[in-house]
């Protein structure tokens, strides 16, 4: 989530690695500021801190009260700076701390020399300078030495200034020079410590192979670990860089006592992040040099809390991130707690990865949020018994958001007692158009397909332009309202407030198959006959097809003429609704407010009940209609 209210940046472009010095080729007339001497956009990229210490490192760390063990851990801890946008005015970056349970924060640094609050999520995980920074603020600007950051640090009973300068040594290396100075009583400063660290660039891969394996995990956790590693080995043998494994790959959910769900039993059998199962997967990722997204039921902060989670593990064997399932499914609410953390997107060498867990991908909102955060590839770990996952939800989430979707579902069920339903498999890799690049059926299997993450930047669909640019967020306010505040609350029990209307429990609806044929008069006559027939069959609502009374292309060829004709058709349908004592839903071309709209009408015996002017127009509709 971007801090300081900054807009989400464009994703970083793919750049070809090069090793030449950034001296002469980028220097011009040696102006005063560093940002005038280099192309600042070269900072964009994925930078990883080198795991080595440099001059005075231990001495520097002692200023923050760190013992030898903590200094050693801080020395080798990986840190990632993913700079996604860079200019002379501001820099946007994602800061990742994988050893701190995948801590990640996206924020924007203003290069104006003013102090701003340090992002809270970073401050909470602080170990060194942030930990003793009582003001919890910093400032950034370009000076003649480089990109400079400054903090005010009280340490050892005195006030200090901490400054560090970033400079590019080459296209693939950044040097960070760190200086701590004591603020003297009479003014001025005295340096008391300094050190140097380096970050190196890890290029983004423009294409790679992703694998989705499907299998059933029983109650033998050690055997399940071997099964997971076996599929990882098979994926590596096929050249995959990324492997997605099913939800709860750690074990079958036999969390029942006397036939009832037991949270205590669930907690006892759940995994910890430092347990044998997860450590085994981390070791396998390191050995095989693979990225892994895997579903694991993990313990929460206190007994008996357990979360359904997906772990993203890096090729160096460290956890990049942990995501807890937000949308639980039927029985899961009796055993697990849903996650409350904000959605996360992980910047990796494989592009920006978003993690879904089964039912998170059934509702459209989760995938849309990840897409708006810049996800290019969705990794979905499932434990589903519904064939609608593979047929509908997985490809549809890809289409809706123009992203890749790599989905792994459990398959089969050898049990003869307890929960007997089979998991349906159907693991697949879908491209940003929803086309299946690879798909499996209902047996133990693995599919492998090439993923080209930057194709997800196009956001094209068959019926319109950029999917995300067509959004109308000012119209979506109800999506953020609590359940008891929206009309559908009645589906879940009594609502605390009166609803807009009370409808019947059962509604008989006539879906009419009708289009413009022969003459206009014929089309009108057929529509009225179908309304009368629907009434005889007991229908209370008739639904007509989109622009049923117009020939193809008629609205675009003559919008005003189409609107005039549709006004006459509307009068006829109003008369039919009154005569037959029912409701009719239709869409017509409407002229209003000196504009032309594509409008849906709900007509009743008493007149127009409601109308909606289409807000999201296709490319073809934009030629003649205004958005509602």
Residue with tokens 């560093």: 34
Whole-angstrom distance, CA of residue 1 vs CA of residue 55:
35
Give Cβ neighbours of residue 229 (< 8 Å, ≥ 6 apart): 280, 281, 284
- Is 8's pLDDT higher than 50? no
Report the chain's mean pLDDT, rounded to a whole number.
86
Strand order in the sheet with 583-592: 509-511, 541-546, 583-592, 595-604, 607-613
Identify the weakest region by mean pLDDT among 2-11, 119-128, 317-326, 491-500: 2-11
What does the DSSP 8-state code read for residue 264? H
Give Cβ neighbours of residue 359 (< 8 Å, ≥ 6 apart): 325, 327, 328, 329
Domains of the chain: 34-201 (no CATH), 208-468 (3.60.110.10), 505-623 (3.60.110.10)
pLDDT band at 22 (very low <50, low <70, confident <90, very high): very low
Average pLDDT over residues 250-257: 93
Residue 494 has what pLDDT? 57
- Is 102's pLDDT higher than 90? no
Q: Is 263 exposed, middle or buried (0-12, 13-18, 19+ CB in 10 A)?
A: middle
Could you tell me the CA-to-CA distances from 569 to 301, 574, 587, 605 in Å, in that order? 63, 9, 11, 16
- Is 420's pLDDT higher than 80? no
Residue with tokens 């209210």: 5
Q: Which two tokens stand for residue 553?
A: 């292309």
- In this prediction the pTM is 0.69
What does the DSSP 8-state code read for residue 10? P
Residue 131 has what pLDDT? 57
Residue 29 has what pLDDT? 45
pLDDT band at 25 (very low <50, low <70, confident <90, very high): very low
Q: How many CA atoms, within 13 angstroms, populate the side-chain half-sphere of residue 540?
A: 6
Could you tell me the CA-to-CA distances from 257 to 246, 266, 374, 420 in Å, in that order? 25, 10, 43, 17
What does the DSSP 8-state code read for residue 12? P
End-to-end CA distance of the chain: 30
Average pLDDT over residues 132-152: 85
- Is 277's pLDDT higher than 90? yes
Q: pLDDT of 367-411, one tens digit each? A: 999 988 889 999 999 999 888 888 999 999 999 999 999 999 999
Average pLDDT over residues 230-235: 98
Identify the weakest region by mean pLDDT among 25-39, 454-468, 573-587: 25-39
Measure the CA angle with vertex 357, ends 354 and 363; round to 5°. 90
Question: Does the N-terminal peptide bond of residue 304 adopt cis geometry, omega within 30 degrees of 0?
Answer: yes
The dihedral over CA atoms of 614, 619, 624, 628, expressed in degrees to the nearest 10, equals 20
Q: Are 365 and 479 in contact (CB under 8 A)?
A: yes
Give Cβ neighbours of residue 90 (< 8 Å, ≥ 6 apart): 6, 108, 109, 110, 111
pLDDT band at 127 (very low <50, low <70, confident <90, very high): low
In terms of C-beta distances under 8 Å and separation of at least 24 residues, what long-range contacts does 225-231 make, across chains too? 225/250, 225/276, 225/277, 225/280, 225/281, 228/281, 228/284, 228/294, 229/280, 229/281, 229/284, 231/446
Q: pLDDT of 152-190, one tens digit each? A: 877 677 888 889 999 999 999 999 998 988 899 888 899
């Amino acid at each position: 989530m971007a801090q300081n209210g900054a807009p989400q940046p464009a994703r970083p472009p793919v750049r070809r690695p090069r090793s030449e010095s950034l001296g002469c080729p980028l220097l011009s007339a040696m102006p005063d500021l560093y940002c005038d001497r280099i192309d600042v956009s070269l900072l964009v990229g994925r930078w990883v801190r080198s795991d080595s210490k440099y001059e005075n490192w231990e001495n520097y760390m002692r200023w923050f009260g760190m013992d030898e063990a903590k200094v050693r851990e801080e020395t080798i801890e990986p840190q990632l700076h993913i700079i996604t946008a860079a200019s002379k005015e501001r820099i946007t970056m994602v800061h990742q701390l994988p050893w701190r349970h995948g801590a990640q924060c996206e924020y924007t640094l203003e290069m104006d020399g003013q102090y701003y609050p340090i992002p809270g999520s970073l401050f909470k995980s602080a170990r060194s300078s942030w930990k003793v920074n009582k003001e919890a603020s910093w400032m950034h600007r370009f000076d003649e030495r480089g990109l400079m950051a400054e903090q005010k640090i009280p340490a050892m009973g005195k006030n200090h200034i901490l400054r560090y300068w970033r400079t590019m040594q080459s296209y693939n290396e950044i040097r960070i020079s760190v200086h701590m100075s004591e603020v003297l009583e009479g003014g001025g400063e005295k340096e008391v410590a300094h050190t140097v660290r380096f970050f190196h660039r890890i290029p983004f891969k423009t294409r790679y192979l992703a694998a989705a394996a499907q299998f059933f995990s029983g109650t033998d956790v050690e055997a399940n670990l071997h099964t997971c590693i076996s599929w990882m080995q098979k994926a590596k043998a096929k050249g995959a860089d990324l492997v997605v494994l099913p939800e709860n790959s750690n074990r079958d959910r036999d969390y029942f006592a006397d036939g009832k769900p037991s949270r205590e039993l669930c907690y006892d059998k759940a995994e910890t992040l430092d347990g044998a199962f997860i450590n085994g997967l981390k070791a396998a990722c390191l050995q095989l040099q693979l990225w892994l997204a895997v579903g694991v039921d993990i313990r929460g902060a206190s007994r008996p809390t357990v979360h359904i989670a997906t772990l993203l593990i890096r090729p160096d064997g460290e956890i990049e991130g942990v995501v807890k399932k937000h949308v639980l499914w039927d029985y899961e609410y009796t055993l697990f707690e849903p996650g409350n953390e904000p959605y996360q997107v992980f910047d990796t060498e494989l592009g920006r990865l978003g993690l879904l867990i089964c039912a998170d991908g059934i509702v459209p909102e989760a995938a849309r949020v990840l897409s708006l955060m810049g996800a290019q590839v969705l990794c979905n770990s499932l434990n589903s018994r519904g064939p609608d996952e593979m047929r509908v939800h997985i490809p549809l989430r890809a289409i809706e958001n123009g992203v890749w979707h790599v989905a792994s579902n459990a398959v089969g069920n050898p049990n003869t007692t307890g929960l007997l339903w089979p998991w349906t498999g159907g693991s697949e890799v879908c491209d940003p158009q929803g086309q299946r690049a690879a798909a499996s059926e209902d047996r133990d299997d693995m599919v492998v397909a090439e993923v080209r993450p930057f194709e997800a930047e196009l956001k094209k669909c068959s019926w319109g332009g950029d999917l995300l640019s067509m959004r109308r967020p000012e119209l979506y306010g109800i999506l953020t309202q609590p359940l008891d505040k929206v009309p559908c609350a009645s589906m879940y029990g009594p609502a605390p407030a009166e609803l807009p209307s009370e409808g019947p429990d059962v509604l008989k609806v006539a879906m009419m198959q009708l289009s413009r044929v022969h003459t206009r008069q014929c089309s009108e006559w057929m529509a009225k006959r179908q309304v009368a027939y629907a009434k005889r069959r007991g229908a209370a609502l008739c639904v007509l097809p989109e622009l049923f009374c117009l020939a193809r292309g008629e609205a675009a060829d003559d919008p005003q003429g189409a609107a005039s004709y549709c006004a006459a058709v509307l009068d006829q349908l109003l008369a039919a609704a009154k005569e037959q004592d029912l409701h009719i839903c239709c869409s017509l071309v409407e002229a209003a407010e000196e504009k032309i709209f594509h409008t849906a009408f709900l007509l009743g015996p008493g007149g127009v009940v409601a109308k909606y002017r289409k807000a999201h127009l296709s490319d073809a509709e934009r030629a003649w209609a205004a958005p509602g």
